[in-house]
Chains A and B, each alone.
Chain A
Amino acid sequence: MDNQEAVIALHNVRKQYGSFVAVHEANFSIGRGEFFALLGPSGCGKTTTLKMIAGFEQPTDGQVFLEGVNVSEVPPHKRNVNTVFQQYALFPHMTVFDNVAFGPRSKKIQETEVVRRVTEMLDIVRLGEFANRRPSQLSGGQQQRVALARALVNYPSALLLDEPLAALDLKLREAMQIELKRIQREVGITFVFVTHDQGEALTMSDRIAVMSEGHVEQIGSSADIYSRPESLFVAGFIGSANLLPGTVVSSDGSGIRVDLVGGTQVVVPVGNSASNVSLAAGAQVTVVLRPEHVHFDPQGQVSVSVTDSVYQGSSVRIVGRMENGTEVSAIVGVEPGVRAPLPGETTLMTWHPEIPYLLAGWPEMAGSTSTNVDSIEASL
């Protein structure tokens, strides 16, 4: 990201509470008009990062730049960013109109201009006819849109959203994702969006920063993060993945040969590896196979004994074990004439040769991280 175009830039930003480090040296910048997501499990430091941008927290070290100006020590009411809070934090004693007008009135903008702006913004969020209602008389989705309007009416440099959809039910959340995208396109303001829901981040964002335990693990587009993860954490957190530990045997122009723990050899195409992978023989690596890319075929390479089969409507999720005990899962489309393997059967697993992807190191627990309840609970 070109620094000239950056609306928000973090330089070595670090936040420490006593001996606990909430955010380790975060370095990134967010461009004008970008929809940027901070994604990670709870406690990963994403909300703290957002609060440092908003001004509710001061960084222990490093600087926060807003429109090129160092605002690290500037209080929230003097920063031109606005926040949509998790539970919206609408003022219960004011009407929708007064809630939205709160910011402009604080800035002592002329009342006629306030009325014009608020009316315009309520139209954008499609709440024009609710101007005189109290927040308590609105549904969750409407309150959400009031919170958006209240922030956007100030024409901030950037809008910060702290898990804004977490309180909504599934259908409404999906509708609001589209609505948020529409509003963002319409106003052209930078959105910084904090979420623990990868689906939300993948569908809405231009770029995603994946965070874990205070570290920014990877920044990239949805497709980058999903198909070219840089770390085991990212591979396991975004979508589900079979993480198969192995060692590099050899590597040349035709591919990287990896012996999986337990014996099977897998060939990984050259270039299908994270930037930090060592291709020297003997290096410990992990082969990533997404469940939707795994098929069962009599000509397959790896023998799997099926332990479970879960019908999911458009697809069937098959869970099985390789001979070495590593758990794997596959998502198989439901098609006429194709019979999904049943629990108790032993079958052969295969994949397209372009699919395998290499990461450095071994996972703490071999197998498909995303079906392990304990590890998911531990990360949430």
Chain B
Amino acid sequence: MLVLAAGIVAVGAEWVTGNASLIVSAVMLVAVVTIIWTAFVGGLDTRRALAPYGLLKPGILWLSLFFLAPLWSMLQMSLSSKQNRFDFFPSFSWEWGNYTTAFSDYGAQFGRSFLYAAIATLFTLLIGYPLAYVIAFRGGKYKAVLLGLVAVPFFTSYLIRTLAWQNLLADSGPVMSVFNATGFTTVLEALGIITNGQIMNTPASVIGGLTYNFLPFMILPIYVSLEKIDVRLVDAAMDLYSSASAAFRRVVLPLSLPGVFAGSLLVFIPAAGDFVNAQFLGSPNTTMIGNVIQDQFLRQLNFPVASAMSFVLMAIITVSVLIYAKIMGTDDLV
């Protein structure tokens, strides 16, 4: 199985080419045939032992082709450079400079991405938890309808929803009209949320867009974990001298943490790499790392630096998720 995966990665990433790729393919074929042959001639026990690997095959093939292979090719690309200025494709040359460029030139965008994503995650949690709570415990027969409403925005494309917010937040749009009419604008301006009488093109509009777009990903996992809680546990807590708020704090909240954890990841990870909200609702001062990567890949055609930045983004997300998991202690939860 491992031979198979390694082979696919190798060929897929054009790591081995020409005759070598034929040899690798032959080795892979032999591996597959051996497994099938063993299954045929082997006894029941052998077949039982091989069954899990057989079941893993589609998954491993899929991930090797569409995850490991591109990842490998991108890792190579991130360490490549153009050998002379007429090369169209860069070639592998242990070019660590791509990584230093990623940090030195775009450190601000990295920082901004994680800050915006973290704030948006916090807001989706603050809005989504009470909503999920009400649907799970007070929804009654309307539960299905309310959950459906949470998912309704997905019927419209992500881009169109974000573009719609451009109009809503525009200087003469409904949001600003209300703010201006109520004098709320001055308050927000004093707080630094609105600049020059504009809410568009500010960090607030970008974070607001992220919050809006990723809210369902917070609500649904929290709803699932709340829904599983036996309401008699709340009765039991009240019976044991807890007030309603103490019962929530000591029983419901801890039992819903796996949902909070899952929801936070589902919001934070894509939000950190998002470029749509910053592009349509923000200004050059709110550029996130997703915009930079997109720009480097598609406009500058600077594949090595773009790849290096993608890897850095992935690494930071992975590390922060691991730290988060450690703090939340999710493996300690039921």
Asked if A and B bind, the verdict is yes
Residues of A within 8 A of B (CB): 54, 56, 75-78, 82-83, 85, 87, 89-93, 102-103, 106-107, 134, 136, 150-151, 154
The count of A-to-B residue pairs whose CB atoms sit within 8 angstroms is 61
Min C-beta distance of A189 to chain B, whole Å = 15
Contacts of A83 in B (CB 8 A): 235-236, 239
Contacts of A92 in B (CB 8 A): 255, 334
**Does the CB pair A89–B334 fall under 8 Å?**
no
Residues of B within 8 A of A (CB): 230, 232-233, 235-243, 246, 250-251, 254-255, 333-334
Known: A91-B236, A93-B333, A106-B237. 17 other contacts (CB 8 A): A56-B235, A56-B239, A76-B235, A76-B238, A77-B242, A77-B243, A82-B239, A83-B236, A85-B232, A87-B232, A89-B233, A89-B235, A92-B255, A93-B255, A136-B334, A154-B240, A154-B241
**Does the CB pair B242–A89 fall under 8 Å?**
no
Among B240, B242, B250, the residue within 8 A (CB) of A82 is B240
Contacts of A87 in B (CB 8 A): 230, 232
**Does the CB pair B333–A106 fall under 8 Å?**
no
**Does the CB pair A134–B241 fall under 8 Å?**
no
**Does the CB pair B238–A75 fall under 8 Å?**
yes
Min C-beta distance of B255 to chain A, whole Å = 6
Min C-beta distance of A165 to chain B, whole Å = 17
CA distance A54 to B233 in the complex (A): 15
Q: Closest 9 CB pairs between A and B?
A: A106-B241, A103-B240, A89-B236, A89-B232, A92-B334, A76-B238, A77-B238, A83-B239, A77-B241
**Does the CB pair B235–A102 fall under 8 Å?**
no
Chain A residue nearest to B229 in the complex (CB): A92
Interchain Cβ contacts under 8 Å between A and B, 25 examples: A56-B235, A56-B238, A76-B239, A77-B238, A77-B241, A82-B240, A83-B235, A85-B236, A87-B230, A87-B232, A89-B232, A89-B233, A89-B235, A90-B236, A91-B237, A93-B254, A93-B255, A93-B333, A102-B240, A103-B240, A103-B241, A106-B240, A107-B241, A150-B240, A151-B239
Contacts of B333 in A (CB 8 A): 93
**Does the CB pair A134–B334 fall under 8 Å?**
yes
**Does the CB pair A77–B239 fall under 8 Å?**
yes
Min C-beta distance of B254 to chain A, whole Å = 5
Min C-beta distance of A54 to chain B, whole Å = 6
Contacts of B242 in A (CB 8 A): 77, 102, 106
CA distance A106 to B254 in the complex (A): 16
CA distance A82 to B241 in the complex (A): 9
Contacts of B241 in A (CB 8 A): 77-78, 103, 106-107, 154
CA distance A87 to B236 in the complex (A): 11
**Does the CB pair A89–B230 fall under 8 Å?**
yes
CA distance A154 to B239 in the complex (A): 11
CA distance A93 to B255 in the complex (A): 7
CA distance A179 to B292 in the complex (A): 70
Interface centre among A54, A76, A151, A154 (most CB of B within 10 A): A76
Interface centre among B237, B241, B255 (most CB of A within 10 A): B241
Contacts of B334 in A (CB 8 A): 92-93, 134, 136
Contacts of A136 in B (CB 8 A): 334
CA distance A89 to B233 in the complex (A): 5
Given contacts A91-B233, A93-B254, A134-B334, contact A54 B239 (CB under 8 A): yes
Chain B residue nearest to A102 in the complex (CB): B240
**Does the CB pair A85–B235 fall under 8 Å?**
yes
